Amino acid sequence: MSKLKELEKLLIQGSITRREFISRVSALGLTAAVSTMFFKSPAQAATPKKGGRFRLGLAGGSTTDSLDPATITDMMLQVVNQGQLRNTLVEIDQDANPIPELAESWEATPDAKKWVFKLRKGVEFHNGKTMDADDVIYSINHHRGADTKSAAKGIIEAIADIKKDGKDTVIFTLTGGNADFPYIMSDYHLTISPAGDKFVGGMGTGGYILKDYEPGVRAFAVRNPNYFKANSAYFDEVETLSIPDVNARTNALKTGQIDAMNRCELKTVQFLKRTRGIQVMQQNGFKHYTFAMRTDTAPFDNNDVRLALKYAIDRKQMVKTILRGFGAIGNDHPISMANRYHAADLPQRQFDPDKAKFHLKKSGAGNVTFRLHAADAAFVGAVDAAVLYQEKAKTVGINLEVVREPNDGYWSNVWLKKPWCAVFWGGRPTEDMMFSTAYAADASWNDTFWKNKRFNELLVAARAELDETKRRKMYHEMQGIVRDDGGVVVPMFAADLSAATDKIGHDKLGANWEMDGFRCAERWWFK
């Protein structure tokens, strides 16, 4: 890593101030080469100020929510958990690179099977306890083992052993090599709590300390005066409100009841852009919308049924109508153009009435009515997307019934339960993380319950492969397998559109997750 990149990462994680950054860069004679992230515009170069109550209005939130990171599925708690209360060993920066957070550094053996993480010294939990290796091991083990109910089980099941070497070093031994292991340690489930903690009180090392929490309603937190990141967590207080209805969120922002919101209404976002005192922010990353079919349940256990439904959707029309052009067409797999090994040469599936009819006839399910469950809790416009899908499928003789579900409880009562439903995925920064989370045979979030022997063999092999050419070939094949055999219709990749009062200041936005990688409360400030 170059000296400049090292200094940029230290600045991002708060280990040095902007003044120190500029001083060191100048001493190296590298001022002219500094990233535009820091000097391009007055807004980005502005000095953050501390103070104020930051009020967030977010889609999502349910009365069944828990602060246990193993069970978090919803946007509201993702922002509260990782963006406010707790930290992970590794952080994903605004350029989608892994940088140290609770870890100070890491290194791997040449085969990428053993990873040694050096922990940052002197980091305190909200209760005053100093974080050490025991806390890390305890927190990660919460997601391991046969009895865990953690959604992260699939992405860390390759961890064969965790041990400490003194209080500040943790050694992970994997069953096979994984060149992307630091990315895995950034997953929002893998936040660190004190050893022995029950995980339900929000205890962590984060920039804010939880003072009040009402599931599905509100979370209120105050700045952590002992936060280890010197240049972060600028607000005195953060109030996070569940506002599932996009119109309600928008009105709350316009009337000054909240300072920021996520998932803008695409139908009206152009009007919002022209609203005085409001800034609209666009992030292009890994987010995609899907219609997931349970392949263990008839009629979706028949691949010809699945193919018929994949050919019966007009992806271009859906991007134009539902996303208002703020996105790109999908190809029935979850790997976006932003991913390193995106299979750009894979033939793009199109709306094809003849092929839809062919596979429907071949399946023998011509008179079946396919029930598609949807709610706007899945994604903004999910019900409209389902209706559009219904209308297009009807033209090729496919009977599709849209079942409108309540927003509250959608993720606990519909997703992973109904045979076919609308789903939101934020995506993952690496192919392995995305596939391991939702497509591996035994993954907790394998929402299509799909199992493919060849795919799972490649998943293990690609994870350990250090040759870039060979690895790329494997991931290309895997995308094709999901496209042609999987139980998921992926019609579109969506840009993240959020909005805030123009009194909010921020640097370059991270695109790995919504709201600046979930970290808006930590990274933003009042001007």
DSSP assignment of 67-132: S-GGG--SHHHHHHIIIII---SEEE-TTS-EEESSEEEEEE-TTS-EEEEEEPTT-B-TTSPBP-
Percent of the chain with pLDDT over 90: 80
Lowest mean pLDDT among 22-26, 84-88, 158-162, 271-275: 22-26
CATH code of residue 101: 3.90.76.10
**If we measure between CA atoms, which residue out of 517, 310, 521 comes closest to residue 426?**
517
Q: Please indicate, yes or no, whether residues 439 and 367 belong to a single structural domain of this protein.
A: yes
Mean pLDDT for all residues in the chain: 91
Q: Is 404 in the same domain as 464?
A: yes
Distance between CA atoms of residues 355 and 310, nearest Å: 10
- Specify if 483 maps to a domain: yes
Report the pLDDT value the prediction gives residue 380, as an integer from 0 to 100.
Answer: 85
Give the residue numbers spanning the domain of 177.
87-184
Whether residues 223 and 354 share a domain: the answer is: no
The confidence score (pLDDT) of residue 20 equals 53
312 close to 393: Cβ distance less than 8 angstroms: yes
- Name the band, by pLDDT with cuts 50, 70 and 90, for residue 4: low
d(CA 425, CA 386): 16
Given this model, what pLDDT does residue 36 score? Answer: 38
Q: What is the secondary structure of 34-48 as a DSSP string?
A: --HHHHS-HHHHSPP
Mind listing the pLDDT tens digit for each residue in 402-458? Answer: 999 999 999 999 999 999 999 999 888 899 989 999 999 989 899 999 999 999 999
21 pLDDT above the threshold of 70: no
Instruction: Read off the pLDDT of each residue in 317-331 and give the average, rounded to a whole number.
Output: 95
Rounded CA separation 320/329 (Å): 10
Question: Of the residues 184, 216, 237, which one is the last residue of a structural domain?
Answer: 184
527: CB partners within 8 A, 6+ apart: 46, 49, 503, 504, 505
Question: Are 238 and 127 in the same domain?
Answer: no
Q: What is the pLDDT of residues 92-142, one digit of tens each?
A: 998 888 999 999 999 999 899 999 999 999 999 999 999 999 999 999 999
Span 372-393, pLDDT tens digits = 999 999 998 999 999 999 999 9
Cα atoms found within 13 Å of the Cα of residue 199, Cβ hemisphere only: 19
CA-to-CA distance for 328 and 348, rounded, in angstroms? 12
Check whether residue 152 and residue 224 sit in a common domain. Answer: no
Tokens of 111: 């085969």
Identify the pLDDT of residue 31.
43
Residues 330 and 445 in one domain: yes
Sequence-ordered list of residues with C-beta below 8 angstroms from that of 40, at least 6 positions apart, any chain: none
* Closest C-alpha to 453, from 440, 472, 468, 467: 440
Confidence of residue 315 (pLDDT cuts 50, 70, 90): very high
Residues 331-358 have pLDDT tens digits of 999 999 888 899 999 999 999 999 999 9
Examine the domain organization and report whether 326 and 252 are in the same domain: no
Distance separating alpha carbons of residues 456 and 486, to the nearest angstrom: 12
Judge whether 427 and 433 are in contact, CB under 8 Å.
Answer: no
What phi and psi, each to the nearest 5 degrees, are found at residue 422? -75, 140
Q: Is residue 335 part of a domain?
A: yes
Task: Determine, yes or no, domain membership for 75.
Answer: no
Given a contact cutoff of 8 angstroms between Cβ atoms, the answer to whether 339 and 474 are in contact is no
pLDDT in tens, 131-182: 999 999 999 999 999 899 898 998 898 899 999 999 999 999 999 999 899 9
What is the per-residue pLDDT for 1?
A: 44
Task: Indicate the burial class of 502 (C-beta count within 10 angstroms; 0-12, 13-18, 19 or more).
Answer: exposed
pLDDT at position 206: 98
Domain shared by 341 and 406, yes or no:
yes
pLDDT of 37: 40
Q: What band does 221 get if pLDDT is binned at 50, 70 and 90?
A: very high
Please check whether residues 232 and 336 belong to one and the same domain: no
Nearest to 215 by CA among 73, 415, 375, 376: 73
Domain assignment present for residue 230? The answer is: yes
The tens digit of pLDDT for each residue in 463-474 reads 988 888 999 999
- Please report the pLDDT score of residue 267 as a whole number: 86
Q: How many domains does the chain have?
A: 4
Give pLDDT, residue 142: 97
Q: Does 473 map to a domain?
A: yes
User: Given this model, what pLDDT does residue 6 score?
Assistant: 64
Task: Specify whether 317 is located in the same domain as 455.
Answer: yes
- Residues 298 and 251 grouped into a single domain: no
| CA–CA separation, 329 and 334 (whole Å) | 11
- Reading the block at residue 376, the tokens are 């706007």
Please check whether residue 112 lies inside any domain of the structure: yes
Give me the mean pLDDT over the 233-261 stretch.
Answer: 97
- Average pLDDT score over residue span 506-516: 91
For residue 371, is it within any domain?
yes
Q: Which amino acid is at 350?
A: Q
Confirm whether 201 is domain-assigned: no
CATH number at residue 520: 3.40.190.10
pLDDT reported for residue 143: 96
Give me 401's structure tokens.
Answer: 């019934």
DSSP string, 153-222: HHHHTTEEEEEESSTTEEEEEESS--TTHHHHTT-TT-----TT--SSS--SSSSEEEEEEETTTEEEEE
Q: Identify the pLDDT of residue 97.
A: 87
Q: Which element (helix H / strand E) includes 400?
A: strand 399-404
246 and 159 within one domain: no
Per-residue pLDDT tens over the stretch 257-293: 999 999 999 889 999 999 999 999 998 889 999 999 9
pLDDT over 50 at 41, yes or no? no
DSSP-based three-state secondary structure for 458: helix
Tell me if 318 sits within 8 A of 458, measured CB to CB: no
